[in-house]
Amino acid sequence: MPILSTELLLTEEERRRAYTIMGYFINGFLFGSSPPPKRLPLSISQPMIELSTYFDLPPVPTYAGQVLWNYRRIEDDNMPLQKRNTQPLVSFTGSPEEAGFFGIVLSIEECGVPLISILLEAIEATCDHDTEQLIACLQQATITLTDMTSILPRMYRDCSQSFFYHKLRPFLDGTNSLSSVGLPNGVFFEEHNGGQYRKHFGPSNAQSSLFALVDIILGVKHDQECSVKENSGQQSPNYAERKVTEQEMRLYMPRKHREFLAEVERMPHIKDFVRSQPGDVRLNSTYKNCLSALLELRRAHIRMVARYIVIMAKHQQSPMVVKPDSTRGEATAAGTTGTGGTNAMEFLKSVRDSVVQARDL
């Protein structure tokens, strides 16, 4: 197969499209068969390495490539994105269920876009000691977070647990979790100068810069390190013989997103201002209500992971569909992992607990 030149790509849109396509090529090639091949051929790896260097991203599919840069609208452009259908430009399976899965993830992102300006205005209000404006911003943020949570149940309609677990999830693996199939060093990416073994996470919601921004501005601090399992011999990626940090996941976000997050981190913190006003009951309750809305979004995500991953892992010998109302609470199971190689329940529960800690001033 000839090596395609990236020099013919002239615009940012063309480069994003190429990065997305090459990401699908890579995971389709690696995880379309079992066990995955030990080497990624030059015709696939070299263009992706050049594109990832341009974007300052790893040469693998990422959340940005699979979600933010990979959709077209198929209904009225004047409708809010979260209320219309979208279609992925590139797909692993070509299935409507895959389109449904990524469409819902994208809808949640789009629904949350107003949070960027709302929360930046909240920081400005903090700097101005404008309590009324800060309360108004937090109230708007609470409504938006609640709207985002309301989109999640559509997943049960548009993408079955069985399809996600058995058909789509294997393609969302990473090269960092392949010891059980004889690839402890990852996959060898061929390059003009020879090449090297590479171990990277696959695409994951943990790479969403929007949710990282919300956590930063609302004062949600995650542990510096989260446990992860590296290969427990499960069908899906696992990783916990080492630690993965929040900063490491940021390396999978577009460079400008990372720079923006770093800039926001240097701004005054809303939580510190609220703490300095212990007698302002309305401000404190509004801030806690906002965090409660974020907490409910995290809990809804945990419940979904329990149904789509934890329960399915217990039945992986006999594929089945679990009805949305068949599981209550937040189930746990050892060795279950999320997309991209994350230890799903452990990671999400640590994120949830961080929100609880932030709320408890």
Q: Which residues contribute to the annotated binding site?
A: 301
User: Which residues are bridge partners to 40 per DSSP?
Assistant: 189
Measured between alpha carbons, how far is 145 from 291 in angstroms, rounded to an integer?
9
Measured between alpha carbons, how far is 40 from 33 in angstroms, rounded to an integer?
13
**DSSP readout, 243-302?**
EEEHHHHHTTS-HHHHHHHHHHHTSPPHHHHHHT-TT-HHHHHHHHHHHHHHHHHHHHHH
CA 177 to chain centre: 18
CA distances from 52 to 203, 255, 268 (A): 14, 11, 33
User: Which residues are bridge partners to 188 per DSSP?
Assistant: 39, 197
Q: Which residues contact 128 (CB under 8 A, 6 or more apart)?
A: none
| Residue 14 token pair | 């063309």
Counting beta carbons within 10 angstroms of the beta carbon of residue 12, is it exposed (0 to 12), middle (13 to 18) or buried (19 or more)? exposed
Residue whose C-alpha is closest to residue 201's, from 339, 301, 90, 70: 339
Q: Which residues contribute to the annotated binding site for heme b?
A: 301
User: Which residues are bridge partners to 196 per DSSP?
Assistant: 189
196: left (phi over 0), alpha (psi -120 to 50) or beta: beta
Q: Which residues contact 193 (CB under 8 A, 6 or more apart)?
A: none
Contact, 204 vs 105, CB < 8 A? Answer: no
Per DSSP bridges, beta strands 86-87 and 72-73 are antiparallel
Counting beta carbons within 10 angstroms of the beta carbon of residue 288, is it exposed (0 to 12), middle (13 to 18) or buried (19 or more)? middle
